[in-house]
Structures are given as C-alpha cells and as structure tokens.
C-alpha cells in the first residue's frame, strides 16, 4: 500500500514537472499547428495529398531540401569539429575573442546576412570571380556560416571537459594521432556531435529566408513552397500536406540522431574536468588553418557588413550612421530610436532566455529521469524547430486572435518573449539533455540512500553539475531571441519594434541614410550578442572553478 502511494506520488510529481512546458508548447505550438492542419486537411483523402506531392516543382523542392540540409550539416560539422578543438580543447591568447566572433553569425537577421553574402558574390564583389551568385553553393556557404557556431560551441564544451588520460594512454600504447582520435576521442564527443548535427540538420531543412534571398528564384525548397502556397494562393490544403511532409522529415532526422547516439552517453563522475591544454608549437599550423577557413567564412561577410554600415550618401564613409542610432529617426521610418529598439530587444530576449532555460530544465529532467511516459516530451519540444515558421505564424493568427484566459494576446506585448522562448526551446533542450544524461545515476542513488529527498538530490547534484550547461543553453536562447525575426514579426506591436524588426523596416525604404542605419543597427546587434555570449563563456568558466 505504502509502496503504491509512493509510486503515485512520483508520477504526480513528474506530471507537475512536465505540465509547464507542455501547456506552453500546447498553446503556442501544438494548437496553432493543429488548427492549420485541421483546416487544410479536413475532408480530403490521400489522393488529394498525393496530387500535391506530385504537382510540378514539388518533387524537385523535396530533393533540394534534402540536398541543402545534408550539405549544410556536413559543412558545419567539417568546419565545426576542428574549430571546436582549436577554440575549446586548446588554450591560447585571443581565443576568447575568437569564440565570441564565431557565435555572432548565428543571430544576424537573414536580410543582413543575405546583403553581406550578396555583396560578396556579386560580379564586382570579393568572391565575384567564382560565379556562385544565386547558386546552391552560395546557399550552403551561408548555411554553414549560420550554423558552424552551434557545432563549435556544443562539441567544444564536451571536448574541453574530456579526460585527456585515455587519449594519452592510447598514444603511449603506440596509436597514431588519427587512430587515437578515431578510437578514443570521437566516441567520447559523439553524443555532443550527434546533438549538434541533429539541430543543424533541422535548422538547414527549415531555413527559409536565406534560401529565398540567396537563391533568388532558382532554388526552391519545401519551406519556400509552403510560403508560396500560403501567401500567394491561400491554399491551406497544399500548405498542410507539405507541413506534414516536413514533420516526417524532422522526425526521421531526430530518429537518426538518436540512433547514432545509442549507448554512447558518457557518464560524468561528478567532477567536471578541465581537459584543455596550452597550445604547443606543433598545433600552430592546425590552429592557423582552422582560423583561416573560419576567417574566410565569417570575417569576409563581416567586413562587407561593416563597410556598408559606414557608407554614407554618395559612397563616402563615416560614423554618421552610428550617430543616427540614438537620434529620433528622420522621416518617421521608425516610431522609436534604434537604441530604444535595441533596449526592447535586450529586455525581451532576457525574459525569453529565462523562460526557455526554466522550461528546458524541466524537459531535460523529465526526459532523462522521469518515468517512461514523460520521455516523449523531448521529441515534442523539438517540434518548433521542425515546423515551417510560415505555418506556425498562420496558426497563431488563427488561434491567438482572441482572449485566452482573460488576456488579449493579440495586442499583448508579453507574446513577444513567449514566442521567442518557443523558438529557442529546441536548441536549449538539445544542449541540456545530453548534459543531464551524463550525470552519473550512482550519485543520486548515493544521495537517496543517505536519506535525501528527490528534490534535495536534484538541488545538490543536478543543479550544481548543470549550471554550466544551463548557462550555455540560456546564452544560446538569448542569442536566438535577440535575432529572432519570423515569429516576432507576427506578434510584435508596431510601436514597440525589436532590433531585427527595426533593421528590416529600415532596409525596406530607399535612401542612403536608411540603409546605412539599417546596417549600423545590424552591427550593433552583432556586438550586443557577442558581448552576451562572452559573458556566458565567463560564467561557465567561473562556475567550473566553483565545482
């Protein structure tokens, strides 16, 4: 009897833990999605769905999506892996700044990145000779540009805390450097690598703006087809069929990632190791090669961006655009100064990061420690990443245009950080779940046998060991919220623009001063984000020192 009561209490406790993220995801993700699917698929059969999938352009767009996602992920991993080693496993002067720079592209608004890459690949541009304008290769470059930071950061964190002993032992026993890497290091960082690659694959397969802008009309994916069906033709049936297809694709990607990771979870023994070492003379060529490739990918578009932010009327250069950021905007392009918009962004992104981090802790705990029935919440939390932003936006328009529990969400400013938190949740979850899984269950068993309640055990073990990963997840959530455009555009009030909205607005008007201010604002966005990423970096190191 008592035992059954304990079991019931355990289930109740876990129900409470999953309730918050579940309600949140239900209201802001599942409900809008279900509404669109219900309206689009009502009364139609598989024949009609097959017709959509075989209509002109659709099979090609499916193939293009798979190819782009695959190449983008391969490229990000190929570049991110050596970058993780050079920036996290080794220690050298200036590496902190290099880490921050690598994180910046992740948050730049599409319109800005497209302008920077466009300038690079244009006929007169630095890389114009390559003839890559409006090609698949240009899009893959941009996808890698966006996503390499995810691989670098997530794999880097795992690599830095890896015990160098095993690898040294392998070397001592005569294994070559590459063999030691393959047999010792790679299996150890595999969970982190798998998690990062899965996220990047999803980002690449649902990337919308970058494909549209850099591909012109030449490259079409599932996502651009959905946009076309919704925005031009208002064909909800076709949009819903394609959205379901995308969900299947995402499910397959997630299943693949979890299969690749099976049985390889590293178990931490409670002490976080600092496995990084000083860079040696022999490392220099490798560091240089890695930095040069990263530099070409990140710094060249960055230079194009900064150049545009300094350009003023007639083609000269000055700091006038930066001075204009704090002035009330001329010609009423914006209702507030860009500085005010930046403040709006920082405040909403901080709230979004806190919400996302809190939900992520609950999701990770339920996924790893909860009873069997709570484990699928991990997959549910990945949903927002895998569903077309156009579909979610449409769903929000259909569902949130009324009072929900007494709050008029349509005009409520609170919707902005909530929407951003939803978008940030999947990546935060992918960072925290492996970290939670890596905590040795024996520590908890020991705590329990010493009489600690589950809550007490969580506080003294999980909460301590997870401080670093939670800071990392919150940092990424903040970065995503800072740069988020699609969902924010649907829910933000016109008189309270965030920085990306202000940039988009400035860049939709003619006139050198508007463009210049738009690009200066983009540089400001990059700087704020880099600063925050640096801060979480510091936090991580300090926390590790505590433990």
Partner 1 sequence: MRIVRFAVPATIAAATIAGCSSAQDPATPSGSATPPDTEVTVVTHDSFAVPDAVLAQFEGDTGITVTFVAPGDAGSLTNQLILTKDAPVGDVAYGVDNTFASRALAEGVFANYESAAPAAADATNYAIDGSTALTAIDYSDVCLNYDIAYFEDNGLAVPETFDDLLKPEYKGLLSVTNPATSSPGLAFLLATIAAKGNGWQDYWTQLEANDLRVTASWSDTYYTDFSAPNYGGDFPLVLSYASSPPFEVIDGEATTAVLLDTCFRQVEYAGVLAGAKHPQAAQEVIDWMLSDEFQAALPENMYVYPVSTSVDVPEDWATYAPLSENPWSVPASDIDANREAWLTEWTAVVNP
Q: Where on the chain is the footprint of partner 1 (CB under 8 A)?
A: 39, 56-57, 111, 114-115, 118-119, 122-124, 212-213, 215-218, 224, 227-228, 230-234, 311, 313-315, 331-333, 335, 347, 351, 393-394, 397-398, 401-402, 410-414, 417, 489-490, 493-496, 505, 507-512, 514-515
Give CA separation, 292 vs 107, 215, 329, in Å. 22, 26, 39
For the CB of residue 82, give the shortest distance to partner 1 in the complex, in Å. Answer: 32
3-state DSSP: the chain helix, strand, coil percent, rounded to 5?
A: 80, 0, 20
- DSSP characters for 221-234? -HHHHHHIIIIIT-
Residue number with CB closer to partner 1 (98 or 219):
219
Residue ranges of alpha helices (H) inside 369-466 are 377-386, 389-399, 415-437, 441-449, 454-457, 463-465
Beta carbon nearer to partner 1, 199 or 409: 409
On whether the CB atoms of residues 348 and 498 are closer than 8 A, the answer is yes
Report the C-alpha gap between 17 and 7 in whole angstroms. Answer: 15
Q: Closest distance between partner 1 and the C-beta of residue 39, in Å?
A: 8
Distance in Å, CB of 414 to partner 1, minimum: 4
Q: How far apart are alpha carbons 298 and 407 in whole angstroms?
A: 43
Closest CB to partner 1 among 406 and 451?
406
Helix axes 300-310, 512-546, angle to 10 degrees: 130
CB 432 within 8 A of CB 357: no
Kindly tell me which of 194 and 497 has the beta carbon lying closer to partner 1.
497
Q: How far is the CB of 65 from partner 1 (least distance, A)?
A: 17
To partner 1, the closest distance from the beta carbon of 504 in angstroms equals 8
Q: Specify the residue, 215 or 370, whose C-beta has the smaller distance to partner 1.
A: 215
Q: Which residue has the tokens 């990140």?
A: 298
Least Å distance, CB 305 to partner 1, is: 12
Using the minimum distance from each CB to partner 1, give the nearer residue, 121 or 458. 121
**Which residue has 């999605």 as its token pair?**
33
Least Å from the CB of residue 212 to partner 1 = 4
Q: How far apart are CA 41 and CA 403, in angstroms?
A: 26
CB 224, min distance to partner 1, A: 8
DSSP secondary structure letters along 66-103 = HHHHHHHHHHHHHHHHHHHIIIIIEE-TTHHHHHHHHH
**Residue whose CB is less far from partner 1, 76 or 309:** 309
């Amino acid at each position: 009897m008592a035992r059954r009561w304990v079991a019931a209490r355990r289930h109740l406790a876990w129900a409470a833990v999953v309730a918050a993220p579940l309600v949140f995801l239900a209201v802001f993700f599942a409900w809008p999605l279900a509404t669109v699917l219900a309206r689009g698929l009502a009364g139609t059969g598989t024949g009609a769905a097959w017709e959509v999938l075989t209509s002109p352009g659709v099979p090609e767009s499916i193939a293009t999506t798979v190819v782009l996602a695959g190449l983008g992920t391969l490229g990000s991993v190929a570049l991110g892996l050596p970058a993780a080693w050079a920036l996290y496993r080794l220690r050298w002067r200036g590496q902190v700044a290099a880490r921050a720079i690598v994180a910046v592209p992740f948050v730049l608004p599409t319109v800005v990145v497209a302008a920077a890459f466009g300038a690079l690949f244009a006929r007169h541009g630095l890389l114009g000779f390559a003839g890559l304008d409006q090609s698949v290769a240009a899009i893959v470059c941009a996808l890698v540009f966006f996503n390499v930071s995810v691989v670098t950061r997530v794999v880097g964190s795992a690599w830095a805390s890896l015990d160098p002993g095993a690898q040294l032992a392998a070397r001592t026993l005569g294994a070559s450097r590459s063999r030691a890497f393959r047999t010792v290091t790679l299996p150890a960082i595999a969970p982190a690598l798998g998690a990062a690659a899965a996220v990047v694959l999803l980002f690449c397969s649902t990337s919308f703006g970058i494909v549209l802008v850099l591909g012109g009309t030449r490259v079409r994916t599932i996502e651009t087809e959905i946009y076309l069906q919704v925005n031009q033709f208002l064909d909800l049936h076709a949009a819903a069929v394609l959205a379901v297809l995308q969900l299947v694709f995402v499910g397959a990607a997630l299943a693949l990632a979890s299969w690749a990771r099976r049985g390889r979870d590293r178990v931490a023994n409670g002490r976080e190791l600092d496995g990084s070492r000083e860079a040696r003379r022999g490392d220099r060529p490798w560091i240089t090669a890695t930095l040069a490739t990263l530099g070409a990918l990140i710094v060249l578009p960055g230079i194009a961006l900064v150049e545009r932010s300094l350009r003023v009327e007639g083609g000269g250069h000055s700091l006038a655009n930066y001075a204009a950021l704090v002035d009330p905007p001329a010609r009423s392009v914006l209702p507030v100064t860009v500085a005010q918009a930046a403040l709006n962004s920082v405040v909403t992104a901080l709230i979004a990061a806190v919400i996302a981090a809190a939900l992520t802790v609950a999701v990770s705990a339920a996924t790893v420690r909860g009873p069997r029935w709570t484990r699928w919440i991990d997959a549910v939390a990945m949903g927002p990443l895998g569903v077309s932003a156009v579909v979610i936006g449409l769903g929000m328009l259909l569902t949130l245009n009324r009072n929900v529990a007494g709050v008029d969400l349509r005009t409520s400013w609170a919707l902005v950080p909530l929407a951003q938190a939803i978008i940030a949740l999947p990546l935060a979850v992918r960072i925290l779940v492996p970290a939670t899984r890596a905590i040795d269950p024996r520590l908890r068993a020991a705590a329990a046998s010493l009489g600690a309640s589950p809550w007490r055990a969580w506080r003294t073990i999980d909460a301590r060991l997870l401080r670093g990963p939670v800071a990392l997840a919150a940092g990424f959530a903040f970065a995503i919220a800072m740069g988020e455009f699609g969902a924010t555009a649907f829910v933000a009030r016109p008189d309270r623009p965030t920085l990306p909205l202000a940039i988009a607005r400035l860049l939709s008007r003619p006139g050198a001063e508007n463009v210049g201010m738009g690009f200066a604002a983009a540089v400001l966005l990059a700087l704020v984000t880099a600063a925050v990423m640096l801060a979480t970096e510091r936090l991580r190191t300090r926390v590790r020192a505590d433990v």
